[in-house]
Structure 1
């Protein structure tokens, strides 16, 4: 997402804009474990949890 200008101003940069992005650990796990739905990590379905 877009970086707030206050972040840049706090470290001495003025009149700049920025864009931040990244890949979280959940996305890496989805790729390596072939998980199709990100919500699987946050649900309490024991079938999903027991598969790890």
Structure 2
């Protein structure tokens, strides 16, 4: 895709943001740090 020809914005509510709202988490980066202790809390999702 040619960026000079096409441009736009992407807005979405990914699963990480939904879980952040449900569990009142303050930082989305926690999901991507690969801390097994934190990630195991969300196995049921």
Q: Normalization by structure 2: what TM-score?
A: 0.53
- Structure number with the bigger relative contact order (C-alpha 8 A, sep ≥ 6) is 1
Going by fraction, where is strand more abundant, 1 or 2? 1
After the TM superposition, which parts of structure 1 deviate over 3 Å for at least 4 consecutive aligned residues? Answer: none
Match of residue 36, structure 1, among 23, 26, 31: 26
TM-align CA RMSD: 2.4
The runs of 5 or more residues in structure 2 that have no matched partner are: none
Higher alpha-carbon Rg? 1
What SS does the aligned partner of 2:18 have? Answer: helix
Cα offsets for 1:4-52 (capped at 9, x unmatched): x66xxxxxxxxxxx65421111100000011110010011224423444
Distance 2:9 2:38 in 1: 34
Gaps of at least 5 residues in structure 1 are 7-17
